[in-house]
């Protein structure tokens, strides 16, 4: 197993929650959802993806303490998207259909 030393910061707007996750790993996933997805690295480009409905992430917080975080729906999509960046993947790698600019 590779030990990653990356840090990810996720800002999720509905309630302006900010999480700092060090060495995040997805430890479980369930369900399926079809998503519309974009990325700040690819302005005005959107695709449909298939993502888990719910995910559980294990990580360290900014103080080195272990934490477990669950994400459902949009947050599950966000976690998947950001963790894939850490593995060198982008949302286009998961595209099932290209969409017109929204």
Residues designated catalytic: 82
102 closest CA partner among 26, 12, 37: 37
Sign of the Cα torsion 82, 84, 90, 94 reads: negative
């Amino acid at each position: 197993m590779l030990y990653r030393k990356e840090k990810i910061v996720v800002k999720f707007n509905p309630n302006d929650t900010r999480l700092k996750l060090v060495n995040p790993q997805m430890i479980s996933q369930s369900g399926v959802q079809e998503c519309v997805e974009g990325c700040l690295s690819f302005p005005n480009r959107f695709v449909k993806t298939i993502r888990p409905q719910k995910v559980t992430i294990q990580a360290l917080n900014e103080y080195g303490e272990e934490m477990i975080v669950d994400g459902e729906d949009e947050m599950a999509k966000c976690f998947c998207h950001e963790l894939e960046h850490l593995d060198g993947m982008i949302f286009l790698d998961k595209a099932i259909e290209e969409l017109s600019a929204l």
